[in-house]
Amino acid sequence: MHIEHAALWTKDLLRLTTFYGEYFEAVAGPRYFNPRRQFESCFLSFAQGARLELMYLPTLSERGAEDASPAIGAAHLAFATGSESRVDALTARLRTDGYQVIDGPRRTGDGYYESVVLDPDGNRIEITV
C-alpha cells in the first residue's frame, strides 16, 4: 500500500495550480467539474511520489468555522490498495471494527473506486484502487 494523493481545499484553483507548477514543478492534469455539486478539482503530478489534488466548492469556509462546510486547507489522505476487492475488504474490516464509513465503496463521477472512512481523530481517509 502507498499514499496515492493528498488533497487541499482552495478558493482559487488556478492560483494554487500556478503556485505548485512554478515553484514545485507540478504538472496539472485536466480539471474535473461536477455541475450538481458545483465541485471542481485538479490533480497535480510531480516527478515522483504522490499526487496533490486541489479542490474547490463555492461553500468553502475559513478554518475554524462553526458550520459543516469544507474548510480551506487539508481535505483527506488517500491510500491506494491495488484493487477494488481490497477497497471493499478494508472498508468492511474498518466498519466491523467500529470506524465510521462515511461514503462508499462507490465509483465517483471522475472514475475513482473509493470509500471514505474517518480515522480516530475524525480525519477523512480515502481508500482507493
What are 92-127's pLDDT values in tens digits? 999 999 999 999 999 999 899 999 998 887 878 999
Helices and strands (DSSP H and E) totals, the chain: 2, 8
Q: List domains and CATH numbers for the chain.
A: 1-57 (3.10.180.10), 75-129 (3.10.180.10)
Please state the rounded mean pLDDT for residues 15-27. Answer: 91
pLDDT at position 65: 47
* The C-alpha cell that represents 77 in the structure block: 489522505
Binned at pLDDT 50, 70 and 90, residue 69 comes out as low
Rounded CA-CA distance 114/44 in Å is: 19
Rounded CA-CA distance 93/111 in Å is: 24
What are 26-65's pLDDT values in tens digits? 999 999 999 998 999 999 999 989 999 999 998 887 655 4
DSSP classification of residue 1: -
